[in-house]
Structure 1
């Protein structure tokens, strides 16, 4: 499949641009801060709802930044990918890099199989409209959010290294000492980051703004994440295949959809599975090049025109 590109083109697409990388973090956090500032300056129901929606979308953006840093492709420096990705992307949304990297690499090597840690999110699609509405109801009433929060605190951060054994990175089961050490490090980092954030808001006289973060996490973030997961791998011809075009979809997001479901070009997901080490900020250009060369010609199912179309395909069961 890589025959769609020359060796030089592959090299250029994989080349990191630190300016674009830092800009991705800057704009994401600027939008979070601006949303909180809006509520502080003009507190009312409307501004709170806007802030929750924007912050929920930016929490997904942080997840995408963590994702790209886990591939060590976002920055040119391995240390920046590891440290900035951990502290300014993963820890804010309760996912340490030590868990996410092996977890996500298993997704790439085992896509759609029983060993894929994400397969449970998309295995049943397409589903009925009624079943999909029930899922959205759980998201919008905070039920999914509470479940996710407990999973992050009681599973992800308690010494597990996401499916590392399936990747061959952990030849033996972790000892109690290793589990305890990892757990303490993870909780230390969570307390340092979130404690510092709350303290800063307290010093500024706006401690209640911290609630916006968790309100966004519990409700809009869950709904946004669900739609994004469906768009990437849901209701495709096959769950598992050597051809990424049979298992993975690219969605041509509209501007407002990019704000919510497709930050940092994550909507070009087929291209990401095609070349996983290409930084997100190069994926649009990669998409345009391979599409022009016939990449999707016999695989129209691997493209969706927008997220409404994704939901329509996913609810035809």
Structure 2
């Protein structure tokens, strides 16, 4: 009995020692990996930078009197795309316009983030980012334009009048793939999408538009940037920018539009409607963002360097 107990004690001690060695190895490995990342991040070739002779930057909305906009942000959280200085049609991720509605981008750990699809569906679904990225994906070029992208009495430059638009190459899962996975029930006519920011900005759109939409995790060859909705953004081409919900956390299939706070306050064609009269009326919503054209150079306060 004593010999068996002694043997058991030796086994437990050896197990504890081996476990400690394994933990130590993992700690050293993690520390070494972290050190390697730190070393790479400080290397002069780690990040691409623009020439010091190129002065591209996003003008902030507060520079021109934010109060004229529907959702003006006095703390400098909105910015314009410098469309007059860009080359080609693609907007670099760090120059994409920002419409914040007063919300600082949430610091979302992609390992903890979940996309919930519920409502009038046969099989409600909760997806991690890894699970979503295993599904069939597409890459498409789409513009996103804010509803307030138009000339204003105080706008002087091209950016101040037309800078709330941008064009990116978006990569992600077609919304139609996800809806096929959950099975949309008969009677569902609208899709409600909601973000994970503090104000939980959400919008309702007709179910038929889902065929065009992408649940995007990539933008211009890299993960979607925080100001653009990292880790997930719903891209709704052809509709006003508010429908392209950032920091996407929830998709809900419903019979009638939910008439959220933001929809009722700013995004409906009527002022203070009775919600009972509004529910289900497609004509009450501003949806499509029509085509526009603008001369980008010379424009605004730009000047030609010479004749011809």
Same fold judged by TM-score > 0.5? Answer: no
TM interval, short-chain normalised: under 0.3
Structure number with larger C-alpha Rg: 2
Q: RCO higher in 1 or 2 (8 Å CA, sep ≥ 6)?
A: 1
| More strand by percentage | 2
TM-score (norm 2): 0.22
